Amino acid sequence: MKSNLIFNILTLATVIVGINFNVAIDKATASTKNCFSGFVPPADGQLYDNRGNNSSINVREKPTAKSRIIHVGSHKTPVEILKQVTGSDGYCWFQVKVYRKKLIGWVRGDLLDIYPMDDIPKGL
């Protein structure tokens, strides 16, 4: 809850004042089933291997683990977060644009690091 409040305050301050605070959302918060209240996309992020062994991360056609895999990304692949939804499985899913592949798909929230500003190189 505290992370959400801090993120919301910094996001609002960034929009109003235009200051880049370079603050990442706490991974522990992103791994919960709940979506972020007050999250205002777009935002930058990267795919995140929550198992710690640099495994691949599936980008899916729809916000469910049963959906078709449209891309297999690697740890730290830069993405743009377009929106968030709560999936039928109860997890928060984020629609992302994979910069290097120019494709749009869905990633579960615990497999994503989110940054409020342009902190990640696009690699275009």
Tell me the pLDDT band of 68, cut-offs 50, 70 and 90: very high
Q: Is the pLDDT of residue 11 over 90?
A: no
Q: Is the pLDDT of residue 38 over 80?
A: no
Three-state SS letters, the chain: CHHHHHHHHHHHHHHHHCCCCCCCCCHHHHCCCCCCCCCCCCEEEEECCCCCCCCCEEEECCCCCCCCEEEEECCCCEEEEEEEEECCCCCEEEEEEECCCCEEEEEEHHHEEEECCCCCCCCC
Is there a domain that residue 40 lies in?
yes
Determine the average pLDDT of the residues in 45-50. Answer: 87
pTM of the model: 0.67
Tell me the pLDDT band of 83, cut-offs 50, 70 and 90: very high
Is there a domain that residue 46 lies in?
yes
Is there a domain that residue 16 lies in?
yes
More confident residue, 117 or 107: 107
User: Residue 91 is part of a domain; what is its CATH number?
Assistant: 2.30.30.40
More confident residue, 51 or 117: 51
More confident residue, 79 or 101: 79
Is there a domain that residue 121 lies in?
no
Name the residue range of residue 95's domain.
Answer: 2-115
Count of structural domains within the chain: 1
Q: Is the pLDDT of residue 20 over 80?
A: no
